[in-house]
Amino acid sequence: MNRIRLTMSQALIRFLDNQYIEVDGEEIKFVEGVFGIFGHGCVVGIGEALQENDHSLKFYQGHSEQGMGHAAMAYAKQNNRQKIMAVTSSIGPGALNMVTAAGTATVNRIPVLFLPGDSFACRQPDPVLQQIEVASDYTVTANDSFKAVCKYWDRISRPDQLMTAAMNAMRVLTDPADTGAVCLALPQDVQGEAWDYPEEFFAKRVHRPGRRPLSPGAAQRAAQCIASKKKPMIICGGGVRYSQAGAELAALAEECGIPFAETQAGKGVLAWDHALNLGGLGVTGTSSANAIAHETDMVIAVGTRLSDFTTASKWNFHNPAMELLSINVASFDAYKMNGEPFIADAKLALAEILPALKAAGYQSSWGERPAQVIEEWRAENDRLYSLDDSEGLAQTKVMGLMNEGGVAEDAIVVAASGSLPSDMERLWRTRAQGGYHLEYGFSCMGYEIAGALGAKIAAPEREVYCLAGDGSFWMLNSEMLTAVQEGLQIIIVLVDNNGFHCIDNLQGSQGIPHFGCEFRYRDSSSDRLEGDYIPVDYATIAQGAGFASYRASTSEEFAQALAAARAQDKPALIDCKTARKSMTGGYGAWWRVGTPEVSKKPAVEKAAREMKEHASQAKAY
Contact in structure between 104 and 442 (CB atoms under 8 Å): yes
Contact 473, 418 (CB under 8 A): no
Give the DSSP per-residue string, 566-592: HT-SS-EEEEEEB-TT-S----S----
**What digits encode the pLDDT tens for the residues 265-310?**
999 999 999 999 999 999 999 999 999 999 999 999 999 999 999 9
Burial of residue 6 (CB within 10 Å: 0-12, 13-18, 19+) is buried
Q: Residue 358 above 80 pLDDT? A: yes
Alpha-carbon gap, residue 457 to 73, rounded angstroms: 11
User: What phi and psi values does residue 219 have, to the nearest 5 degrees?
Assistant: -65, -40
Tell me the average pLDDT across 438-459: 97
In angstroms, the CA 119 to CA 357 distance is: 59
Q: What is the DSSP string of 388-416?
A: --BTBB-HHHHHHHHHTTTS-TT-EEEE-
Residues whose CB falls within 8 Å of the CB of residue 23, separated by 6 or more in sequence, listed in order: 82
Note the pLDDT of residue 318. 96
Q: Phi then psi for 520, rounded to 5 degrees?
A: -125, 155
Integer CA distances (angstroms), 495 to 362, 517, 550, in order: 47, 16, 12
DSSP result, 446-488: THHHHHHHHHHHH-TTS-EEEEEEHHHHHH--TTHHHHHHHT-
Q: Using an 8 Å Cβ cutoff, are 279 and 426 in contact?
A: yes
Query: Residue 87: which pLDDT band, with cuts at 50, 70 and 90?
Result: very high
When pLDDT is averaged across residues 40-56 and rounded to a whole number, the result is 96
Residue 388 scores a pLDDT above 80: no
- CA–CA distance, 386 with 313 (Å, rounded to integer): 32
Q: Averaged over 375-395, what is the pLDDT?
A: 89
Confidence of residue 506 (pLDDT cuts 50, 70, 90): confident
Report how far residue 558's alpha carbon sits from residue 573's, in angstroms, rounded to the nearest whole number. Answer: 11
How many Cα atoms are found within 13 Å in the side-chain-facing hemisphere of 198? 8
Counting DSSP H helices and E strands in the chain, the numbers are: 24, 23
Contact 258, 248 (CB under 8 A): no
CA distance 504 to 273: 33
Do 498 and 529 meet the contact criterion of CB atoms below 8 Å apart? no
**Cα distances (angstroms) measured from residue 479 to each of 96, 252, 312, 362, 441:** 18, 42, 34, 52, 21
- Judge residue 405's burial from the number of C-beta atoms within 10 Å of its C-beta, 0-12 exposed, 13-18 middle, 19 or more buried: exposed
End-to-end CA distance of the chain, in Å? Answer: 55
* Sequence-distant (≥ 6) Cβ neighbours of residue 46 within 8 angstroms: 9, 12, 13, 36, 88, 115, 117, 186, 191
Say if CB 74 and CB 442 are below 8 A apart: no
Helix or strand run (H / E) with residue 381: helix 369-385
Residues 6+ apart with CB under 8 A from 247: none
Tell me which H or E stretch contains 496.
Answer: strand 490-496
3-state SS of 51-86? HCCCCCCEEEECCCHHHHHHHHHHHHHHCCCCCEEE
Asked whether the beta carbons of 484 and 547 are under 8 A apart, the reply is yes
Residue 28 CB neighbour total at 10 angstroms:
14
Residue 619 is predicted with a pLDDT of 87
Asked whether 428 and 277 are in contact (CB, 8 A), the reply is: no
pTM comes to 0.97
| 280 strand-pairing partners | 262
pLDDT for residue 428 is more than 90: yes
Rounded Cα distance between 290 and 282, Å, is 6
pLDDT digits (tens, 9 = 90+) for 178-230: 999 999 999 999 999 999 999 999 999 999 999 999 999 999 999 999 999 99
Instruction: Label residue 580 by pLDDT band (50, 70, 90).
Output: confident
For residues 592 and 309, what is the distance between their CA atoms, to the nearest angstrom? 9
> What's residue 603's pLDDT?
92
Centre a 10 Å sphere on the Cβ of residue 531 and count the other Cβ atoms it contains. 13
Task: Work out whether strand 26-29 and strand 19-23 pair parallel, antiparallel, or are unpaired.
Answer: antiparallel
The residue ranges of DSSP E strands in 199-353, in sequence order, are 205-207, 232-236, 260-262, 277-280, 298-302, 323-328, 340-343
Q: Which domains does the chain have, with CATH numbers?
A: 3-207 (3.40.50.970), 218-373 (3.40.50.1220), 386-498+534-577 (3.40.50.970)
**Whole-number average pLDDT of the chain:** 96
In this predicted structure, the answer to whether residue 350 has a pLDDT above a threshold of 90 is yes
Tens-digit pLDDT profile for residues 21-45: 999 999 999 999 999 999 999 999 9
Q: What is the pLDDT of residue 581?
A: 86
Q: Which amino acid is at 139?
A: T
**Per-residue pLDDT at 399 exceeds 90:** yes
- Helix, strand, or coil here: 150? coil
CA distance 387 to 385: 6
pLDDT, tens digit (0-9, with 9 covering 90-100), for 146-170: 999 999 999 999 999 999 999 999 9
Four-point Cα dihedral 170, 150, 40, 474, nearest 10 = 120
**Pair 491, 449: CB distance under 8 Å:** no
Alpha carbons 11 and 7: distance in angstroms, whole number: 6
Q: So what's the pLDDT on residue 505?
A: 85
The string of DSSP letters for 176-237 reads TTT-SEEEEEEEHHHHH-EEEEEGGGGS-EEE----PPPPTTHHHHHHHHHHT-SSEEEEE-
| Residues 369, 298: Cα–Cα separation, whole Å | 16
